[in-house]
A = this chain, B = another copy of it.
Amino acid sequence: MKKTIIGVMGPGANATDLDLENAYQLGKLIAQSGWVLLTGGRNEGVMDAASKGAKSANGLTVGILPSSDNTTTSEAVDIAIVTDLGNARNNINVLSSDVVIACGMGAGTASEIALAVKVNKKVILLNNDDNSKLFFQSLAKNQIFIAENPIAAIELVTQLLTT
């Protein structure tokens, strides 16, 4: 039976230290909640940190890779889905996630939030970028949620999964 999948999206090379710390905590809490973690799968930034956090709590990790092979796959990814789609894989990330958490901000992350809104997914923003919060909340008030920290994000996920 289909397992619950929580997507954590965020910057790769440009992730901040706080993004990485938050991503690790999110991954750990997702695993502890019994959910599967889904990320963009690469061996850097939020994808890598979240996957490592989930493995620290014996979670199951799925990575949706933009590349055509596994040379840049995070070592903390259990199930590597190799798409060779470049950034078009971002749409798969959000379609496959029951709830999306955007941890940090960047162009790829912004595309994932917008694509998630487009297909009626709920997105939780965890970042310090006020412009992004203002914009995405004005775009889709009922689908965008703000979390102050990883624990608050996971509480929101729990609520959203049961509504």
Contacts and interface: CB of A to CB of B under 8 A. Distances in A.
B107 A114 contact: yes
Interface residues of A, number: 51
Main secondary structure of the interface of A (DSSP, over half): mixed
A107 B139 contact: yes
A92 B86 contact: no
Interface in A66-124: 68-70, 73, 75-92, 95-96, 105-108, 110-111, 114-115, 117-119
Interface of A: 1-3, 5, 36, 60, 62, 64, 68-70, 73, 75-92, 95-96, 105-108, 110-111, 114-115, 117-119, 129, 131-132, 134-135, 138-140
